[in-house]
Amino acid sequence: MESKKNRRGDTYNKKMNRTYINEIKDSMDGKEILLDGWIHEIRDQSKIKFILLRDISGIIQLLSKEGDKFFNEIVKIPRESVVEIKGTVKKSKQAPNGIEVLIKDYKILNEAQTLPIPIVEKGNISTSLSKRLDYRSLDLHSLRTQSIFKIESEITNSFRRYFYENGFIEIQPPCVISSASEGGTELFKVKYFEKDAYLAQSPQLYKQMCVTALEKVTMIVPVWRAEKHNTIRHLNESRQMDIEMAFADEFTVMEQLSKSVQYIIKSVIEKCERELNILNIKLKIPKDKYLTYDETIKLLKKNKLKLEDGDDIPPEGERKLCELFKDTIIFVHDWPLKIKPFYIVPKTLDKNEKISRGFDAIYGGIEISSGGQRVHLVDVLIKQLKDKKLNPDNFKHYINSFRYGATHHAGWSIGLERFTMALLELENIREGTLFPRDRDRLIP
C-alpha cells in the first residue's frame, strides 16, 4: 500500500495511461487498467467492499475482497476524495452494465474534508439552492447538476452547428459600450480610463451594423441588465444566442428560430440520453404555432386571464399558452409598436401605424426569445428614437451605418439560461446558470 502522501510524479503510473469509465467494455475482461476519479459511494458488505467510482464519463463498480491487503482501509476513504485505482476488468452479471473492476492497488490523490452540503442524486434535494450556489464547485459533483451543464453545452454547440451549416458568420461584438443598446437606464456603469462606459445590455446595435455587409450573422454573448428584479426567471448577467439576417422579415427569422430549436432538441435527445434519464426528462421535437398579439389576448381572456389590449403577456399567460399548445413553440407576432423597442419596424410606414413587426417566442411555459424585423430607414429610426425619449446623437454611429446601402433585415435572441430552464423544467433559472449573478449574488 502506498502512502497517502504520494502524488503523481513517482513511478506509480508512468507505464499506464488513464482509462475513462465509459471506455471500459466487457471485451476488456481480464485487462489491467488505471482509473482516476472521485469516490461516489462506498458499500461495506462484510466480506466484500464495493466502491462506486465516478469520473465525468460515468460510474463504475469497484470491489475488494476479504484478504486484500487494503480490505479494511478502503471503506474509510471519505466520499468525494480523489483517488487513483489500479484494477482488473471483470465481467459480472450482478454488476451495473455487466462490468466491474477488481481493485489491485489504490492511491488517495486528495482526501476530501467533511462536505458542507450533501451530494444528492435522486429524490428531493433538501439543501436550499442558495446554499448549493455558495458551494457551487461542490454542487457540480452531483450527477444531476453535471447533467444540466452537459446538456447546456450541447445546446450551445448544436446552436453553433446549425447556423454554421446554414451559412451564418459568427461574430464577437463588444461587451463594453458607450451608450445604451436598447434605451432605458438599466445599465451597469463602468470606468473606462477617463470616460464612463457601460456593460452591454445586448449585442443588438452591433449585429445590425454587421448584417448590412455580412448578411447572416450569429453569436453567443454575455449581456448585463441592471434591473432590480429578484425572480426565478431573471438574471442580471446572462448569455444570449443571437442571429441577424439581411433581406429577411419577421416570418423568415421565426422559421429559422423554429428550425434551430428543433435541431437543438433533436441533438440533445440523441447525444444526452444518459443526462436526460438522470433528470427524468422526456423531450419531444416541438411543433410551431403562430398567433397574432390580438388573437393571443382574446384567447387568454377566454381562459380567465385579466388582460387589457396593449398589456404585455404575464408569466401566467405564457404558462397557459403552453398548456393549450403542448410541445409547441408559440410565436406571438404583430405586437403593438408602443411596447416594442425603437429598432423594431412598424407594420407599415403609415405615420399612424400602431402595429409592429415584432414577435415573442414562448416554449416550455416561458418566453425564450423576442425578435422581429428591424428599422433600416434613417428617418424612421430617428423618429422612433425620439418617440422613445432617446437622443439620436447618442446613436450616431449606429444610425450612420444605415446611410450607406443598408437592406431590410430581421433577427432574434434566445436567452441560453432561460432556454435551459424551459427545456429541462427547472424551477429556477439559477439552476441552469453556472455561477449566477443577480441582485444579491456576486460570489463565488
Q: How far apart are CA 346 and CA 354, in angstroms?
A: 7
| CA–CA dist 283, 194 (Å, integer) | 51
What pLDDT does residue 123 have? 62
Q: Is the domain of 26 the same as that of 106?
A: yes
Find the domain containing 104 and state its range. Answer: 21-110
pLDDT for residue 73: 87
Closest CA to 143 of 65, 226, 221, 41: 41
- Give the residue among 244, 182, 261, 225 at the shortest CA–CA distance from 372: 244
- Strand ranges inside 149-286, DSSP E: 169-170, 176-177, 189-192, 195-199, 216-224, 237-246
Do 106 and 140 share a domain, yes or no? no
DSSP bridge partners of 336? 355
Residue 111 has a pLDDT of 96
CB under 8 Å to 130, separation ≥6 — which residues?
none
| N- to C-terminal Cα separation, the chain | 38
Say yes or no: 147 and 257 in one domain.
yes
Can you give the pLDDT at residue 179?
74
Residues 258 and 308 in one domain: yes
Which DSSP letter does residue 203 get?
S
CATH number at residue 348: 3.30.930.10
The span from the CA of 208 to the CA of 409, in Å, is 8
For helices 416-423 and 143-165, the axis angle rounded to 10 degrees is 120
Specify the DSSP element, H or E, that contains 154: helix 143-165
Cell of 347: 407594420
Q: Does the residue 298 lie in any domain? A: yes
Q: Give how many domains the chain has, as a whole number.
A: 2
- For Cα atoms 358, 363, 368, give the angle at the middle one, nearest 5 degrees: 55
Name residues whose C-beta falls within 8 Å of residue 201's C-beta, 6 or more positions apart in sequence.
180, 181, 182, 184, 186, 187, 223, 224, 225
Is 256 among the domain residues?
yes
Is 26 in contact with 44 (CB distance < 8 Å)?
Answer: no
Q: What contacts 109, CB < 8 A, 6 or more positions away?
A: 7, 8, 36, 81, 82, 83, 84
- The CATH number that applies at residue 40 is 2.40.50.140
- What is the C-alpha to C-alpha distance for residues 298 and 305, in angstroms, rounded to an integer? 10
CA 399, CA 359: separation in Å to the nearest integer? Answer: 23
Reported as type and span, the H/E element at residue 325 is: none
- Classify residue 255 by its DSSP letter: H
Cell 462536505 identifies what position? 115
Residue 442, domain member (yes or no): no
Of 153, 157, 150, give the one whose Cα is nearest residue 58: 150
Task: Give the domain-ending residue among 68, 92, 110.
Answer: 110
142 belongs to a structural domain: yes
Are residues 166 and 78 part of one domain?
A: no
Q: Which three cell numbers stand for residue 76?
A: 474509510
The distance of Cα 220 from the centroid of its chain, to the nearest Å, equals 11
Q: Are both 287 and 141 inside the same structural domain?
A: yes
Q: Are residues 59 and 167 in the same domain?
A: no
71 falls within a domain: yes
Q: Are residues 313 and 415 in the same domain?
A: yes
For the four alpha carbons of 331, 334, 335 and 341, in that order, the dihedral sign comes to positive
What pLDDT score was predicted for residue 351?
A: 86
Q: What is the pTM of this model?
A: 0.91
73 and 164 assigned to the same domain: no
Tens of each residue's pLDDT in the chain, 444 residues: 444 444 444 445 456 899 999 999 989 999 999 999 999 999 888 789 999 999 999 999 999 988 888 888 888 999 999 999 999 999 988 888 889 999 999 999 999 999 999 987 766 678 999 999 999 999 999 999 999 999 999 999 999 999 999 999 999 999 999 876 666 658 999 999 999 999 999 999 999 999 999 999 999 999 999 988 889 999 999 999 999 999 999 999 999 999 999 999 999 999 999 999 999 999 999 999 999 999 999 999 999 999 988 899 999 999 999 999 999 999 999 999 999 999 999 999 898 899 999 999 999 999 999 999 999 999 999 999 999 999 999 899 999 999 999 999 999 999 999 999 999 999 999 999 999 999 999 999
**61 within some domain:** yes
In the prediction, which pLDDT does 24 show? 95
Report the alpha-carbon distance of residue 221 to residue 415 in Å, rounded. Answer: 10
Report how far Cα 442 is from the mean position of its chain's Cα atoms.
Answer: 19
Same domain, 101 and 144: no
CA atoms within 13 A on the CB side of 280: 4
* Alpha-carbon gap, residue 356 to 371, rounded angstroms: 11
Does residue 230 share a domain with residue 150?
yes
Residue 244 lies in a domain: yes
- State the angle between helix axes of 293-302 and 315-324 in degrees (0 to 180), rounded to the nearest 10: 90
Residue with cell 430607414: 377
DSSP classification of residue 265: H
